[in-house]
Every structure is written in structure tokens, then in C-alpha cells.
């Protein structure tokens, strides 16, 4: 049985883009990240008290985990929490592919336990969920959650874990102003009613909602995120302008307001931080209080943008 409660921060830190930090250079995000630059990000986050880091085996195929592990060496292990994932599509041929993938993550992250371990997607809930039980019993995994699961799949995972005295302790789905499918499908309500934290990923739509990118200044040419978002940046302008104007009241930027919106909706945003100033942004977020009218206005502008930002790896959540 899980003995200690999962510590839920106001904001968690995402490191998918850190998979771009290899010697071969730009990857999924088209970001040129260096270990020295990311150490600065981590130092700032540590000083500001942000301590939950999310990664996955498939972010840069091990590179994100390896870089994160290397960067975190500068802090005592008890100062931070690690969140990583079993990705069914990357399962190997070992007797227990989940335990095997976990061992590889532990090695890359330079640790002997993971605070929060996820099944990355619902490729086969009945097949993969039971593997978490042994990992919880061994103590190598302290808490477990499921990602990209719809309501029925969450309940099935919870039932499987429940039979062994465990439970789904967290949900991680795509949730932003532009993509509220988990809200429409009742997953946010389900989490609230069951006391399960909902971690919202891609709150900034990989930078498209940061206010920094526009048709004149698009996302890095040739990157995967550019392919998804550059064609819709003109439709997002009214929304990002509104985010920026609300931000002005608080001495904050558009990205800060987008993150504050996700918190106001009762979620824990996982923000992909690539630069030290992104940590300053997260500090500012805590002082922003959005009114009900502002939230409604932002959501109306988001709906009016009429874009679908569902990731290629995601399923429709609506029931
Ligand atoms: N479970 C899943 O299937 C799943 C899927 C996707 C993501 N995730 C997790 O969620 C995390 C967040 O998603 P994400 O990284 O894809 O996208 P995101 O958080 O929506 O956007 C991150 C990008 O926004 C920009 N940014 C971040 N903070 C900013 C700020 N304060 N001001 C201006 N720009 C800012 C950065 O772009 P620049 O580098 O261009 O500045 C960064 O790469 C991931 O890192 C990962 O841990 C999980």
C-alpha cells in the first residue's frame, strides 16, 4: 500500500523539450538547449521551490531522462520529485517490459526510485496496469498515475490497482484553453470528486499560447511543433492578445495568464521550461487571480479560434 501521500505542487515542470538537447541538435521542438542552460533553469526552479519534474522515456528516446538525471545531480534527491512514464509502444521483449523500462529510466535518471510513475497511454489498460503493482510493492515506484486515458479507462485502471490495495493517484492529460476535452468528458469533475490530482500538459500549446510566437515570428522552422501550430497562429491572435492584456494588470505576460487559467480550473499545470526566465514566469503566476468573467472571456476567444490541437498520439476524450 502506498504509505506517504503524493506531494502535489501548484505547478510541475516538463522536460519533453529537453530531449532536444543532444549533440545532434534540434529535435521535436526545434530548440537548441545546452546542459549549462538547463542547469541554470534547474537552479532557478530549485531556489523558487518548484520541485516536481516530469519526463518520459520517449522524450528524445532517453535523452530527456539522461539530461534531467545529469542536471539533478547537483541537488539532494530528497529536494525534488521525479515523474516518468512507461510507454506501451516502446515496450521491449523482457519478461516484464514495464519493470525493464523502469530500470532503464532509473539508470538514466541516476536514482533508485521514481516518485510518480505513469502508464503513458491506454494502449492496453488490462495488459499493462497490473505490472504497476509489483513496482509499487518493491518501492521503486512511490505513486502511480495514468496519462491520456478516458474516463472508462481510468476506472478500469483504478479497479485493477484497487484489487491489490492501490489506486490511480493522478491523471495527466492534455488540457489548455484550446483543448478542453478532459473537461467536456467529465474527467476534471471525476478527479475533483475523487480527490485525484489532474496534471494538465501542454497548457501553453508548446509555445503557441505563450504570446511570443505569431505569423511574423513563427515557431522554429522544420520542428514538429511548427508543423502543428504555425498554420493556426493568426487564428490565435485575439486570444493571445487578451492573455497579454490581462497579464498587464499583474505585471505578467500572456504565458503566465494561460498558466494561471489552468490553475484556476483546478488543475496542476506541467509547464515545459526551457529558459531561466520561464521559472520567473511561474513565480509570477501565483499572484494572478482571474475573475470569472475573464475566464469566460478567454474560453470564448479560445473556442472562437476554432482550432483542434489534439496531439497525434491522443484519442478523443468525449464520451
Ligand atoms: N503525457 C503526455 O502524453 C504528455 C504529452 C505532452 C507533454 N507532456 C508533458 O507536459 C510538459 C509540457 O508540455 P510541452 O513541454 O510539450 O509544452 P508546453 O508546456 O505547452 O510549452 C512549452 C514551450 O513553451 C515555451 N514556454 C515555456 N514557458 C514559457 C514562458 N513562461 N513564457 C514563454 N514561453 C514559454 C517554451 O518554448 P521555447 O523553448 O520556444 O521558448 C517551451 O518549450 C512536457 O514537457 C511533458 O513533460 C506529457
In this predicted model, what pLDDT tens digit does every residue of 246-291 receive, in sequence order? 999 999 999 999 999 999 999 999 999 999 999 999 999 999 999 9
Distance 29 CA to ligand 1 centre (A): 9
- Residue 195 confidence (pLDDT) above 50: yes
User: What are the beta bridge partners of residue 145?
Assistant: 118
CA-201 nearest atom, ligand 1: 10
Q: How confident is the model at residue 6 (pLDDT cuts 50, 70, 90)?
A: confident
Fold of 12-305: TIM Barrel (3.20.20)
3-class secondary-structure state, position 83: strand
pTM, whole model, 2 decimals? 0.97
CA-33 nearest atom, ligand 1: 39
User: Which residue owns the Cα nearest ligand 1 atom 47?
Assistant: 14
CA-274 nearest atom, ligand 1: 39
Distance 96 CA to ligand 1 centre (A): 31
Other CB atoms within 10 Å distance of the CB of residue 251: 10
CA-281 nearest atom, ligand 1: 31
Distance 182 CA to ligand 1 centre (A): 18
Determine the average pLDDT of the residues in 15-20.
Answer: 93
Distance 246 CA to ligand 1 centre (A): 21
* Contacts with 172 (C-beta within 8 Å, 6 or more apart), sequence order: 54, 118, 145, 146, 147, 148, 198, 199, 201, 270
Residue 38: its H or E element? helix 35-48
The confidence score (pLDDT) of residue 32 equals 84
| Sign of the CA dihedral running 174, 180, 186, 190 | positive
CA-204 nearest atom, ligand 1: 20
User: Which residue owns the Cα nearest ligand 1 atom 12?
Assistant: 272
Other CB atoms within 10 Å distance of the CB of residue 172: 26
Query: Are the C-beta atoms of 319 and 185 separated by less than 8 Å?
Result: yes
User: Which residue owns the Cα nearest ligand 1 atom 34?
Assistant: 210
Q: Pocket residues for ligand 1 (CB within 6 Å)?
A: 14-17, 29, 31, 54, 120, 147-148, 172, 201-207, 210, 212, 255, 270-275, 278, 281
- Residue 318 confidence (pLDDT) above 90: no
Distance 137 CA to ligand 1 centre (A): 32
- pLDDT per residue as tens digits for the range 24-35: 555 789 888 888
Residue ranges per structural domain of the chain: 12-305
Which residue among 9, 14, 258 is best mutated to probe the pocket of ligand 1, counting the most ligand atoms within 8 A of its Cβ?
Answer: 14
Amino acid at each position: 500500500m502506498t504509505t506517504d501521500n503524493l506531494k502535489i505542487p501548484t505547478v510541475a515542470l516538463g522536460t519533453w523539450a529537453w530531449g532536444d538537447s543532444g549533440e545532434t541538435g534540434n529535435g521535436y521542438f526545434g530548440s537548441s538547449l545546452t546542459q549549462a542552460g538547463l542547469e541554470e533553469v534547474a537552479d532557478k526552479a530549485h531556489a523558487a521551490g518548484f520541485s516536481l519534474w516530469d519526463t518520459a522515456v520517449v522524450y528524445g528516446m532517453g535523452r530527456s531522462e539522461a539530461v534531467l538525471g545529469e542536471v539533478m545531480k547537483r541537488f539532494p534527491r530528497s529536494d525534488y520529485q521525479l515523474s516518468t512514464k512507461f510507454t506501451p509502444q516502446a515496450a521491449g521483449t523482457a519478461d516484464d517490459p514495464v519493470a525493464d523500462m523502469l530500470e532503464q529510466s532509473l539508470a538514466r535518471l541516476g536514482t533508485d526510485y521514481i516518485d510518480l510513475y505513469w502508464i503513458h497511454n491506454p494502449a492496453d489498460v488490462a495488459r499493462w496496469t497490473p505490472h504497476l503493482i509489483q513496482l509499487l510493492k518493491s518501492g521503486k515506484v512511490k505513486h502511480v498515475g495514468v496519462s491520456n486515458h478516458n474516463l472508462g479507462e481510468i476506472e478500469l485502471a483504478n479497479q485493477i490497482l484497487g484489487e491489490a490495495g492501490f489506486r490511480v493517484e493522478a491523471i495527466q492529460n492534455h488540457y489548455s484553453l484550446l483543448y478542453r476535452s478532459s473537461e467536456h468528458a467529465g474527467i476534471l469533475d471525476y478527479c475533483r470528486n475523487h480527490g485525484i490530482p489532474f496534471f494538465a500538459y501542454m497548457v501553453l500549446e508548446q509555445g503557441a499560447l505563450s504570446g511570443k510566437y505569431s505569423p511574423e515570428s513563427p515557431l522554429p522552422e522544420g520542428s514538429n511543433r511548427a508543423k502543428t501550430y504555425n498554420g493556426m497562429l493568426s487564428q490565435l491572435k485575439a486570444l493571445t492578445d487578451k492573455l497579454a492584456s490581462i497579464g498587464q494588470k499583474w505585471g505578467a505576460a500572456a504565458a503566465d495568464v494561460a498558466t494561471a487559467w489552468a490553475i484556476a480550473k483546478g488543475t496542476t499545470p506541467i509547464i515545459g521550461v526551457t529558459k531561466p526566465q520561464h521559472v520567473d514566469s511561474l513565480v509570477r503566476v501565483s499572484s494572478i487571480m482571474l475573475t470569472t468573467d475573464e475566464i469566460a472571456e478567454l474560453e470564448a476567444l479560445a473556442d472562437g479560434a476554432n482550432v483542434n490541437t489534439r496531439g497525434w498520439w491522443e484519442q478523443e476524450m468525449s464520451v
